[in-house]
Amino acid sequence: MNKVILIGNLVRDPEARQIPSGRLVTNFTVAVNDNIPNANANFIRCVAWNNQANFLTTYLKKGDAIAIEGRIVSRSYVDNNGKTNYVTEVYADQVQSLSRRNQNANDHNNDKVNVDTMMGAYASINTDAAFSSNQPQTNFQSTTSNSNKNDDEEDEITSWINLDDDLE
């Protein structure tokens, strides 16, 4: 299973763009801190599509706390100089604002999840028990199904004109 859950802060304001197929996409970076004193943050590259991309750009700004549920994807692209670049990023299936000033914005998100319930569920995840078949599993479900995603999502990414400039 390929599933990742991140809680962190947006590094910069998200900006959406429309790709040739008409789909809306937002690349963004989340700073995630470990629970280790004086440790550096991890900067995780993420991608959101359509409704999630719209939610990010409409309601969230640099520094906002967010929770993301998604999957890790590796891809490559050839830049304008002919160099092949390799990228690992998180495709965000669900994005939730955790910033107090954005609590009302969550009502407009198509993947509605109660913030208190979500935070409690994230805080109670036992990683040792998560892989034990004897333990009940915590499932996060969206009110909107993401199961009808285009299977050619990864193919579309390779056709983008270097969307990774903001991270260089």
Is 46 within a domain?
yes
Q: Are strands 84-97 and 65-78 parallel, antiparallel or unpaired?
A: antiparallel
Q: How many residues does the chain have?
A: 168
Percent of the chain with pLDDT over 70: 60
Is 158 within a domain?
yes
Q: Read off the pLDDT of each residue in 135-144 and give the average, rounded to a whole number.
A: 36
Full residue range of the structural domain in which residue 137 is found: 4-162
Is 18 within a domain?
yes
Residue-level pLDDT at 105? 53
Is 33 within a domain?
yes
Residue-level pLDDT at 29? 97
CATH of the domain at 117: 2.40.50.140
Residue type for position 102:
N
Is-contact 18 48, C-beta < 8 A? no
pTM above 0.85, yes or no: no
Task: For residue 22, give the DSSP letter.
Answer: S
**What radius of gyration, in Å, describes the C-alpha atoms of the chain?**
17
Residue bearing the bigger pLDDT, 164 or 69: 69
Is 17 within a domain?
yes
Alpha helices in the chain (DSSP H): 50-59, 115-123, 127-130, 153-158
Residue-level pLDDT at 44? 97
Is-contact 119 106, C-beta < 8 A? no
Is 167 within a domain?
no
Whether residue 45 is predicted with pLDDT greater than 90 in this model: the reply is yes
Number of domains observed in the structure of the chain: 1
